[in-house]
Structure 1
Amino acid sequence: MSYQALYRVWRPQRFDDVIGQDVITTTLKNAIITNQLSHAYLFAGPRGTGKTSAAKILAKAINCPNKQNGEPCNECDICKSITNGTLNDVIEIDAASNNGVEEIREVRDKAKYAPTEAEYKVYIIDEVHMLSTGAFNALLKTLEEPPAHVIFILATTEPQKIPATIISRVQRFDFRRITSKDILDRMEFILKQKNMDYDDNALKVIAKSAEGGMRDALSILDQVLSFGSDHVTYENALQVTGSVTKTVMTKYLYCVIQHDVKSALMNVQDILKEGKDASRFIEDLINYCQDILLYQQSPEMVESAELGIIDDDFKSLAKQINDQVIYKMINQLNDVQSQMRYTMHPDVYLDVLTVKLSSNYDIKNESNDDNAELKQQIQHLNEQVSSLNDQINQLNSGKIKQPTIEQQTVPKQRTEKINKTKVKTSNKGERVNLSKVYPVLDNATRENLNNLQNIWDELLQSLDVTQRAMMHVSKPVAASSNGVIVSFEYPFLFQKANSDTELSDALENGMDRILGYVPKIVFVPSDRWPEIRKDYLVNRKNNHKESENNNDSEHSTIEKNEEKHDNNVENNPDDSEIVKKAKDMFGDGIINLKND
C-alpha cells in the first residue's frame, strides 16, 4: 500500500479520539445514548479542528448496531464501510464544487428514499457556506420538514456566511482552536506509537506553528520527518516551518532598541541567508511582541501558551522595554506586513523597517520622552509650592506683612494649575473620551443593549483571528440606537483597540450587516466603567436639580421645607427621573437604591 499522510492514518475514529473538543463529543455521545438525535447539525470552526472527522464518527455511531456508550464499534461492516467511504447511505458532498441549485435539488429528491443498508441516511455537506443563495433556499425546505430517516451534518469554517434561516433549523456546535498543549500531547503519542525519537522543542515549534489546527500540525510533522529522514530535531522543525528562534528575535530586538542599526541589519541579512521567509519573520516578531506585553501583565499565561519555551533573555527584555514602545512596534510591523504581500523584494522592506525601528525607540524611557515637558512643569510647580509654604510660615511668624488681595490670587491660580496638572497626569494612562460616552448614555436603553448582546458572538465571528482575539475580553455595557459602549478587561488591550481604526471599521461593517444600522463604537476600560457610569448619573442629577431650582425660585420658603420634609420618590422628581434613566439603560436587576 502507498504511503498515507499522518493526518489520514491517525484520523479520529471514535469520539474519544477527537482532540480538544470534549464538550461537543460528550454532548453528541449523550444524544446517541438517550436517542435524542436532531435531524440537522452544524459543525463550525477553524480548519483542522475535527469537524469532518466528528461528522463521520457521528454517522457511524448512529448507524452502528454494536455501539457502546455512544461510540461506534469500528468493527462491523457498516462502520468499516463508512470509514472507507463506500457506504451508499452516508453521502459526503463538497459544497465548494457542488454549490448550485441543481445539485441541492438532487440531494432533496434522493433524501426521500429510505436507506438501503443503514438505519439512517446521512448527508455530510462540507464547506456549506459556499452554497449559492438559490441552493440554500432549495435546502431550506428539506431542513424544515425532513424525512424521519435522514440526518444532515453541515460543516463550515465561516458560519457568518450561512443564512440565519438555515442556522435556526440546526443544532450548532462551535469547534474551538486546539491548544498547543493538546497538539503537543497528540504528536508525542503518535511518535511513540511509531517508535521514533524526537526533540521536545521541535514538537513545541510545530505545535505553535499549527495555530490551533491538528491537521496542520500533523502535516508539518510529516514534512519534518521527510526532511530529517525520520529524525525530528529542533533545527529541522525551524527549517520546515520557516520560524526564527527566540534567541535570534531577542538579539534582533536588543539591537533595535539600543539603536544599533548596523548589527540589526546584519541580523536581518543572516536570517534571510538561512532561507527564512520574510513574512514569517514579521509574523514571529508580532507574536514575540505580543508575548512581551502579556508577560508584563501575566507571566503565567505566557509560560503556559509558549509551552515553557521562555529563556532568561526574554524575561530580561520584558522587564526593560516599555509597553508604549511595543505598541508602536506592533503598529509598524502590521503596516509592513500588509505592504509585503504585494512586493517581490521583501528584503528591502525588512531593511527599511529595521532602520525605522532602530531610529525611533529607546529601551526604557520612550514614554518619559513624551512626558519630559510635563515633568519639568511639575518640578517647577513644586518649587513654587515650596516657596509659597515658606511665605506662609513667615506670615504666621509675623516677619512679613499679609499679601494684598491681588497677591493672594497668584497662589490660588498656581494651586489650580497644580491640581489640573495632577488630574491630567493621573488620567494619562487610560484616556477615555467622555464627549463620546455621554451622548450614548443620554439615549441608551436596555432594549438596545440586549439586541447587541444577542448578536455579539456572531459579530466577533466576522472578524479576523487577530481582531477576534483582542475582542475576546470585551463586552458591550451600554447601547443606544446611535452608539455602543464596549468595555475591555485589560487596559493595554483597551489602548490598542482605541487606536485601531481597522478594528472599529470591521465592527461597524459587521453591525451594519447584522443589525441594519451602524452605531458609533466607544471603548472604555472595564475598571473605569463603574466610575464613568456613576459620574454620568450624578451629573445628570445635578443638572436637573439646577434646572428645578431655577424654575422653583418663586416658591415660598414654607413650600420648599414641606417638599424637603417628604422623602417619598413621588416628591423627588429629580431622583425618580435619574432612577428611571438608570433602569432604562442598565435594567432593574443591577439597580440598588439607597437613601443618603
Structure 2
Amino acid sequence: MYRALYRVWRPQRFDDIVGQQMITQTLKNAIMTHQTSHAYLFTGPRGTGKTSAAKIFAKAINCHHLVDGEPCNECETCQAITKGQLNDVIEIDAASNNGVEEIRDIRDKAKYAPTQADYKVYIIDEVHMLSTGAFNALLKTLEEPPANVIFILATTEPHKIPLTIISRTQRFDFRRITAKDSYDRMVYILQQKEVTYDEKALRVIAQAAEGGMRDALSILDQVISFGDNTVTLDDALMVTGSVTKKLIADYVEEVTNHVTKPALETMREILQEGKDANRFIEDLISYTRDVLLYQQAPEMVDSVAMGEDDQRFEDFAKSIDAEVLYQMVKTLNDVQQQMRFTTHPDVYLEVLTVKLAQLDGQTAATTASAAPVAASPDDPTIQQLTTKVDQLQSEVSQLKKNGVSAAKPARPKNNMSNNGPAVKKVNVSQVYPILDSATKADLVSVREVWSDLMNILSVTQRALMHVAQPVAASDQGVVVAFDYAFIYQKAIDDQTLMDALSNGLDRLMDQAPKIVCVPKEQWPQIRKDYLATHQPSGPAATNEAPKKAPVVVAAEKQFGDLVEVKND
C-alpha cells in the first residue's frame, strides 16, 4: 500500500526536523542534563514539526541508548513509540476529545505509574479546542503533576489558551520553514527515492507551501503522481496553480510602465492557462516583496539565494521606486481580501490591473506637489514676500501693545491627529476604572518588567511596542501610551499582540492586568478630564488646590508620573 511522502519521511530524530534548530537543540540539552519540565507547549503554523518533535521527545526521554540527546530508534521502546503501540505514550486529538470527561479520564489515569517506559507522555494536539471546563480540569494536573508524567500540548492558536495554562508550561514557538529549507529537504528526499526533478519545479513548490514542510511534501506527492514519477516545472505550476516567473515579471513591468492594455492581455493569458486567481495575487505579493528586499538586502531573498537571480530582476529592482512597491502590496492585499467570497475573480483582476497601472502616476503627482522648490533670495517674489512678512510682524507687535491678543486656533472637533488620518476614539470607560485604583507602586512594578516583556515578544511585535510606554497602572490594568497615533491604531487592531502582552505580564508578574492603549497626544487630556469628573464632593471640593513648589514642577517635567510628593 502506498504511503504519502510526509508520512514516510516523518522526522524520527531531532536533527531531521527542518528549520527548528534552536528548539531541537534546547530539547536535546534538557534531556541530556536531566532538566526536563513536566509540561511543554509547542505552538506554530501547521506542518512545522510540532507533533513530530513531541513524539521524538517521548522517544528520547524513554530511550536507554541515547546518543547526544537523540533516540536510538532501534530499541524496543523507540520502535513501539514510532509504531504508536506503546501504552505509556498517549496521543490525543483535542478537536474530537474536548470535553471535561475526557480530560478527567486523563487526570485519573495519569496518577498511575507507567507500565513499560520510564515516563508516561501525554501529547494533546490542537489543545486550543478544549472547552473551558476541560481546561480547568487539566489545570489541576498541571499544578500538581504526578511523578514520571509529562504533558506536551500542541496548538496553532496559542492566543485561545488560558494564561493559567500557558504559565505552567515551557513554551516553544515553531517558526515557518523558509523556502530554502523546504527546497533542500525535497532535494534530499528525491535523491533518496532516485526521482528525476527540475530545480525550478521544487522552487515553485517551496513557495506554494507557505512555510509548511508537510504542505510541501503533499504538493510534491501530487506532482510526482501527475508527472509519472518525475518532477517538472509545468507539472508543478499546474498542481499549485502558480504562475511562471517570466509571466509575473512581464505583468509587473507592464503595470509599472503604465501600459494597461498589454498588462490586461498578460493577465488574461495567465487565467486562460488555468492558473488560480488567488495564487496569482500571492505570487505577485511574493515577487514584489522579493524586489523590495533585494533593494535593501539582496542576500535575504530566498529565490535569489536558490539561483533564480537574473539580470532582468536586478535591472527592475534598481529602476523601480520603493514607494510604488509599497502601494502595490497594499492594493494587492485589499483586492485579495475582497476576492475571498467572489465567484468572478477575473473582474477583480481586471480592476486590479487598471489600479496598479495608475499607481506610479499618483505617487509622482504627490511627490511633485510635496517637493520643496529651491529659490534664490534675490528672486523678486521672495523679496516681496519678505517685505510683507515684516509688515505683518510690525502690525502684530502694535496690536499687542494696544492689549489685543491673537486668537487661538479652534481645536478640531473631529478625532484627527496632527500628522495623519482619524484614529479610533479612546474608550475612556476602560481607562477610568484603571485610574480609579492606579498607584505609583503598580506603575513602577510594570515599568521594571517592561524591558523583559519586550524580549518575550516577536520581532514584529517588538517593533510596534518600541514607541509605547506604560503611563498608569493598577492591580486591574495598565494604560499604555503610543508616541504615534497610527501605531496606536495598528496595535489595538492586533489581537495577537494584545494577547502576547497579557500573557507576558502574567508570566512576569503572576497576574494578567487588562491592557488599554491610548495615543500619547491624547493622554494628558484624558487624565485631565478624569480628574475634573472625579473630584471629591463636599467642602474639600471647593478649596483651591495648593500651589506646587517650583522644585516639584521641575521634577515633574523631568520625571513625569513617577514623581510623588510627600508632606513633612
Q: Shorter-chain-normalised TM-score: which range?
A: 0.7 to 0.9
Which residue in the other structure is 2:466 paired with?
Answer: 476
| Correspondence list, 1:274-285, <5 A | 274-285=273-284
For 1:171 and 1:359, locate their aligned partners in 2 and report how far apart those are by CA, in whole Å.
Answer: 51
Q: Distance in 1 between matches of 2:422 and 2:280?
A: 41
3-state DSSP of counterpart to 1:123: strand
Matched, 1:7 2:42: no
Q: Is 1:352 matched up with 2:351?
A: yes
2:482 match: 485
Q: Per-residue displacement from partner, 1:334-358 (whole Å, max 9, x unpaired)?
A: 2211111111111111112112222
Contact 1:453/1:476 (CA < 8 Å) preserved in 2? no
Q: How does 1:189-268 map to 2 (within 5 A)?
A: 189-268=188-267
Match of 1:510 in 2: 498
Which residue matches 2:94?
95
Structure 1 segment 134-213 matched on structure 2, within 5 A: 134-213=133-212
Name the structure 2 match of 1:580.
Answer: 559
The Cα shift of 1:133 comes to: 0.5
Separation of aligned partners in 2, 1:108 and 1:157: 24
**3-state SS of paired residue (1:262):** helix
* Equivalent residues of 2:482, 2:519 under 8 A apart: yes
Tell me the distance in 1 between the aligned counterparts of 2:72 and 2:269.
54
CA contact (8 A) 1:243 1:280 kept: yes
Q: d(CA) in 1 for partners of 2:308 and 2:159? A: 36
Letter in 2 for 1:378: V
Instruction: Find out whether 1:378 has 2:377 as its counterpart.
Output: no
For residues 83-130 of structure 1, give each alpha carbon's deviation from its aligned partner in whole angstroms, at most 9, with x where no partner exists.
111111111100011000011111111112222211221111111111
Q: Which of 382, 390, 401 is the matching residue for 1:409?
A: 390
Q: Deviations over 1:357-394 (max 9, x none)?
A: 224433xxx5441143455x725xx1454459999xxx
What amino acid maps onto 2:373 in structure 1? Answer: I
Structure 1 equivalent of residue 80 of structure 2: 81
Distance 1:130 1:257, change over 3 A: same
Query: Kindly tell me: are residues 325 and 412 of structure 1, through their superposed partners in 2, closer, same or farther at Cα, counting changes over 3 Å?
Result: farther
8 Å CA contact 2:482–2:488 kept in 1: the answer is: no
Q: CA deviation at 1:503?
A: 6.1
Shift of the 192–486 alpha-carbon distance from structure 1 to 2, 3 Å rule, reads farther
Distance 1:580-1:241 versus aligned 2 partners, 3 A rule:
same
CA distance in structure 2 between the aligned counterparts of 1:12 and 1:407, rounded to whole angstroms: 79
Asked whether the 8 Å contact 1:64–1:76 carries over to 2, the reply is yes
Partner of residue 520, structure 1:
518
Match of 1:426 in 2: none
Distance 2:556 2:462 in 1: 35
Change (3 A) 1:341 1:233: same
**Amino acid of the residue matched to residue 476 of structure 1?**
H
SS at match of 2:7: helix
Confirm whether residue 23 of structure 1 aligns to residue 46 of structure 2. Answer: no
After TM superposition, give the deviation of residue 516 of structure 1 in Å. 2.1
Shift of 1:452: 5.7
Residue 399 of structure 2: aligned partner: none
SS at 1:378's partner residue? coil
Contact 2:45–2:156 (CA under 8 A) maintained in structure 1: yes
Deviation at 1:166, TM superposition (A): 1.1
3-state SS of the aligned residue for 1:92?
strand
Matching residue's letter, 1:336:
V
User: Residues 43-82 of structure 1 correspond to what in structure 2 (within 5 A)?
Assistant: 43-82=42-81
**TM-score, normalisation: structure 1:** 0.72
CA distance in structure 1 between the partners assigned to 2:483 and 2:234 by the alignment: 44
Residue equivalent to 2:122 = 123
- Determine helix, strand or coil for the equivalent of 1:518: strand
Distance 1:390 1:37, change over 3 A: closer
Question: Partners in 2 of 1:206 and 1:572 — Cα distance?
Answer: 68
Distance 1:85 1:57 in 2: 12
Which amino acid letter does the alignment assign opposite residue 334 of structure 1?
Answer: N
Per-residue deviation, 1:54:
1.0
**Amino acid aligned to 1:22:** Q
Where in structure 2 are there 5+ consecutive unaligned residues?
A: 395-417, 432-437, 473-478, 503-512, 522-546, 564-568
Q: Which runs of structure 2 are paired with 1:262-411 in the superposition (5 Å)?
A: 262-302=261-301, 307-362=306-361, 366-375=362-371, 378-379=373-374, 382-383=375-376, 385-387=378-380, 409=390
Sequence identity percentage: 55
Give CA deviations for 1:216-255 in whole Å, capped at 9, x if unaligned. 1111111111111111122222222211122212211222
Say if 2:457 and 2:500, in contact at 8 Å, map to a contact too. no
Kindly state the Cα deviation for residue 317 of structure 1 after the two structures are TM-superposed. Answer: 2.1
Q: Which residue of 1 aligns with 2:403?
A: none
Report the Cα offset of residue 505 of structure 1: 1.7
CA distance in 2, matches of 1:114, 1:287: 52
- CA RMSD in angstroms, aligned pairs only: 3.7
Q: Which amino acid aligns with 1:518?
A: V
Shift of the alpha carbon at 1:406? 6.4
Query: So what's the TM-score if we normalise by structure 2?
Result: 0.75
Q: Cα–Cα, structure 1 residues 204 and 371, in superposed 2: closer, same or farther, change >3 Å?
A: closer
Query: Aligned equivalents of 1:323 and 1:40: distance in 2?
Result: 47
The CA deviation at 1:474 is: 4.1
- Checking the alignment, whether the CA contact within 8 Å between 2:39 and 2:168 is kept in structure 1 is yes
Residues 60 and 70 of structure 2 are in contact (CA less than 8 Å); yes or no, is this contact kept in structure 1?
A: yes
- Which string of whole-angstrom CA distances, capped at 9 and with x for unpartnered residues, describes residues 138-174 of structure 1? 1111111122122111111111211111112222222
Question: Which runs of 5 or more residues in structure 1 are unaligned?
Answer: 392-404, 414-430, 461-468, 488-496, 524-550, 553-569, 585-596
Structure 1 window deviating more from structure 2 (197-206 vs 80-89): it is 197-206
Amino acid at match of 2:494: A
Q: Is the 8 A contact 2:328 2:359 kept in 1?
A: no
